[in-house]
A and B are shown apart, each in its own frame.
Chain A
Amino acid sequence: MIGSTTHPLTRALHRAHLTRHRRAWLIMALIVGTALLLVASGYFNGVAWPTLADAVVRTTYRLALAYGIALLIGVSIALIVGWSPFIDFFFPFFDILQNLPSFALFPLFIYFLGFTDLMIILFAVSSIVWPILFAILTAIKSAHTDLNDAATIFGARGLRRIRYYLAPLSFPAVLTGSIVGIAIGWEAVIGAEIIANIAGFGAFIKNVDTTGINPTAIAGALGILVIVFIINRLIWAPLLDESSRRYAE
């Protein structure tokens, strides 16, 4: 079975010192290399690169801002609710809210905010916040009783409990919630741009010829792929490694 230490492929990768991280960079290098070859061959000659770059930057900026706001709101609410004695009361309430399909609420965002940058950003916030909030609340609810007791006995009471116990306890949950949230955020931002036809990657691919796969669509997808890869390798992977190093059982 691939992944087993006795599998020939696994052994070959091990001999070549291809760790998981190096394999990821190698795969991305192959994709980028292929893309550059296609550029050199003239495949992407018809692509409006400045327009594409502008669209990708707009979408990425909206996502980054939405994530920042969602992180602040999600972490704050989760920590306060988790610290309070009402966590069990609020949990089903949040569960119902997060099950509402976000695009069903899209008309409300348009009604109150119009076809604006702010509308897309806040719509994305409403999608990204839930995985973060739930991951943290679940981590707090499932913390071992002994750990809770140790925090109390050694003085982490009142608001100090949030800063010195609940916040660091929640770090792995913030990380996994963020990774899921960002994935949902891409969909929310691009989907909102498509529906509202506001300048961005969503509107860009919407206006692309629909007769089939063409260089512009591929160039756009590659651009997003590179951004996702860079965020994953440079931000999430090191944080996940640190988290597993510290929080392993």
Chain B
Amino acid sequence: MTLVLSRVTAHFADEKAREAPAIKDISFSIPAGAFVSIIGPSGAGKSTLMRVILGLMKHASGEVVRNFSRPAMVFQNYALFPWLSALDNVAFGLRMDGMPRKDREHVAREKLKEVGLLHLENHFPAALSGGQRQRVGLARALAISPDLLIMDEPFSNLDTITSEALKTDLLKIWRSYGMTILMVNHLIPDAIELSDEIIVMGAHPGHAEKTIPINLSRPRDTRSNQFFKEVDVLTETIRKIS
């Protein structure tokens, strides 16, 4: 297992909101190499959970077993460093690792080529579209060869065409890298299309309601009856807990 959470509870960072926890008694495990989505309503503590998993935030109780050493994250709002070009953004993690300039630029260029943006290596984030920024964010994460990739609603700020293209590329990358992916998703069809299993979270406080395995064969046919049936089941599950 790449990650095991056992009855994890965490509070909001805001002192005034400490009366109620952000997430409470969350337990689940993620197998190595799996693609797992977390889905749930606003206020379910999904982003808080991601920060606890990455160690960016302390949890109040419970146990987090992290069997990964190189986590990386792709953010909803891209979180690219505005003073760095696309190439330097991708190379950032490698620079922090102490990799020499020539080597890290070589790796960064390879990653930009994988996401189809080598021609924009000298552009700053301000000059890139949302989809391009997200691809640079993905390349930055891939550059450090992560064993766990966390993606926080990576498609939510993108148009449909761009997010469809990015989903296709993401699946290819996941298959070739063999890494574990944990994605926060708010779209049920996307979660079913991409994931091996889906963790459904409830809100107030955030808790893991249910883990649903997706047993459809890959590549997923998003127009098949089985796919629509899975969407119906998941939609009904979420409706019951909302």
Q: List A residues at the B interface (Cβ < 8 Å).
A: 144, 146-147, 149-156, 160, 164-165, 168-169, 171, 245-249
Is the CB–CB distance between A153 and B71 below 8 Å? yes
In the bound complex, do residue A247 and residue B126 qualify as a contact, i.e. CB atoms below 8 Å apart?
Answer: yes
Is B126 touching A249 in the complex (CB atoms < 8 A)?
A: yes
Interface string of B114-153 (1 = CB under 8 A from A): 0000000000101000000000000010001000000000
A151 to B92, CA, bound (A): 9
Interface contact B83-A246, CB-CB below 8 Å: yes
Q: How many inter-chain contacts with C-beta < 8 Å in the A-B complex? A: 61
Which B residues are in CB contact (< 8 Å) with A152?
56
Q: Is the CB of B126 within 8 A of A150?
A: no
Interface residue from A147, A154, A169 paired with B96 (Cβ < 8 Å): A154
Within 8 A of A (CB), among B176-231: none
Distance A153 CA – B95 CA, assembled complex (angstroms): 13
Interface size class of B (residues with CB under 8 A): 20 to 34
Main secondary structure of the interface of A (DSSP, over half): helix
Query: B75–A146 contact, CB under 8 A?
Result: yes
Q: Is the CB of A160 within 8 A of B83?
A: no
Q: Does B49 contact A (CB under 8 A)?
A: no
Interchain residue pairs with CB less than 8 A apart (25):
A144-B79, A146-B75, A147-B79, A149-B56, A149-B73, A150-B79, A150-B81, A153-B54, A153-B71, A153-B73, A154-B93, A154-B144, A155-B93, A155-B96, A156-B96, A160-B96, A164-B92, A164-B95, A165-B81, A168-B83, A169-B81, A245-B124, A246-B83, A248-B82, A249-B126
Using CB atoms, name the residue of chain B closest to A242. B83
Tell me the residues in window 68-92 of chain B with beta carbons closer than 8 Å to chain A beta carbons.
71-73, 75-77, 79-84, 92
Q: Which residues of B line the A interface, CB within 8 A?
A: 51, 54, 56, 71-73, 75-77, 79-84, 92-93, 95-97, 124, 126, 140, 144
Contact between B140 and A154, CB atoms less than 8 A apart: yes
A171 to B79, CA, bound (A): 17
Residues on B with beta carbons closer than 8 Å to the beta carbon of A246 = 82-83, 124, 126
Q: Which residues of B contact A171 (CB under 8 A)?
A: 83
Is there contact, CB below 8 Å, between A150 and B73?
A: yes
Contact assessment for B81 and A147 in the assembled complex, using a CB-CB cutoff below 8 Å: yes
Q: How far is the CB of B108 from chain A (nearest CB, A)?
A: 12
Chain B residues positioned under 8 Å from A150 (CB to CB):
73, 75, 79-81
Set of chain B residues within 8 Å of A153, measured between Cβ atoms: 54, 56, 71-73
- Check if A146 sits within 8 Å of B79, measured CB to CB: yes
Given contact pairs A147-B81, A154-B140, A164-B96, A245 touches B73 in the complex (Cβ within 8 A): no
Chain A positions within 8 Å of B54 at CB level? 149, 153
Q: Which of B51, B54, B73, B84 has the most CB of A within 10 A?
A: B73
Rounded to whole Å, the gap between the CB of B69 and the closest CB of chain A is 13
Across the A-B interface, the 3 shortest Cβ-Cβ residue pairs = A155-B96, A154-B93, A146-B79
**C-alpha gap A150/B152 in the complex (Å):** 12
A152 CB, min distance to chain B CBs, angstroms:
6
Query: Nearest Cβ distance between residue B15 and chain A, in whole angstroms?
Result: 11
Contacts of A160 in B (CB 8 A): 96
A150 to B92, CA, bound (A): 10
A247–B126 Cα distance when bound, in Å, is 7
Contact partner, B92, options A144, A146, A154, A169, Cβ 8 Å:
A154
* Closest residue of A by beta carbon distance from B137: A150
B126 to chain A: which residues have CB within 8 Å? Answer: 245-249
